[in-house]
């Protein structure tokens, strides 16, 4: 099963590669986190017209792309169980540690959830003599369930 991305995703990725621009470069230009900007490329978030225009200008792309980046997203991509090895590892982490994480969150905060709306995600490279490490930090607001 293949993942179907929006039509503009490959255009953006190709233009970024051709220009030699990284998501970190776009973060400096736009003032938004590189992970959030990457999510725009995959149609998982929407840009304001101003942000979309800055991206299009930086990558020498046209007005049609600006409109595409401003569309409201349909969140979530791909099959229920992802097949890409890197993405699958995150799925595997949730399969193994999801309920333990949930239990610890409930112990610390009570009955509720971590927001994916009021949320940030940071990815860092941590150098290690035994092999570089990937550090992923998820930071979401706690939302208590309402009792009525």
Instruction: Look up residue 74 and give its two tokens.
Output: 């349909």
Across the range 10-38, mean pLDDT stands at 96
- State how far the Cα of 25 lies from the Cα of 19, in Å rounded to an integer: 11
Paired strand residues for 137: 122
pLDDT band at 28 (very low <50, low <70, confident <90, very high): very high
Across the range 5-21, mean pLDDT stands at 94
CATH of 7-70, one of 1.10.260.40, 3.40.710.10, 1.25.40.10, 1.10.3720.10: 1.10.260.40
Per-residue model confidence (pLDDT) at position 1 = 56
Among 18, 101, 29, 1, which Cα is nearest to 59's?
A: 18
Across the range 41-57, mean pLDDT stands at 95
Per-residue model confidence (pLDDT) at position 62 = 87
- pLDDT (tens digit per residue) in 95-137: 988 988 999 999 999 999 999 999 999 999 999 999 999 999 9
Q: Can 7-70 and 85-144 be said to share one CATH topology?
A: no
Among 134, 10, 6, which Cα is nearest to 73's?
A: 6
CATH superfamily of 85-144: Cyanate lyase, C-terminal domain (3.30.1160.10)
Per-residue model confidence (pLDDT) at position 77 = 74
> Cα separations (Å) of 74 from 27, 71, 77?
23, 9, 9
Catalogue the active-site residues: 89, 92, 115
**pTM of this prediction?**
0.80
Could you count the other beta carbons within 10 Å of the beta carbon of residue 12? 24
Per-residue model confidence (pLDDT) at position 148 = 80
Contact between 58 and 24 (Cβ < 8 Å):
no
* Stated length of the chain: 148
Among 136, 32, 38, which Cα is nearest to 93's?
A: 136
CA angle 35, 39, 45 (to 5 degrees): 125
- Structural domain spans, the chain: 7-70, 85-144
pLDDT band at 30 (very low <50, low <70, confident <90, very high): very high
- pLDDT (tens digit per residue) in 52-101: 999 999 999 988 899 999 999 888 877 778 888 999 999 999 998 898 89
- State how far the Cα of 67 lies from the Cα of 6, in Å rounded to an integer: 13
């Amino acid at each position: 099963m293949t993942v179907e991305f929006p039509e503009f995703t490959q255009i953006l990725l190709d233009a970024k590669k051709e220009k030699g621009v990284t998501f970190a470069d776009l973060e400096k230009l736009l003032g938004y986190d590189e992970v959030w900007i990457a999510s725009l490329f995959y149609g998982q978030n929407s840009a304001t017209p101003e942000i979309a225009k800055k991206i299009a200008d930086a990558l020498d792309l046209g007005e049609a792309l600006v409109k595409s980046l401003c569309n409201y997203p349909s969140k979530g991509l791909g099959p229920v169980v992802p097949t890409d090895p890197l993405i699958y590892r995150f799925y595997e982490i949730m399969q193994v540690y999801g309920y333990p994480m949930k239990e610890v969150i409930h112990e610390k905060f009570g009955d509720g959830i971590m927001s994916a709306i009021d949320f940030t995600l940071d990815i860092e490279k941590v150098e290690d003599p035994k092999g570089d490490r990937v550090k992923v930090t998820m930071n979401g607001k706690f939302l208590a369930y309402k009792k009525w």
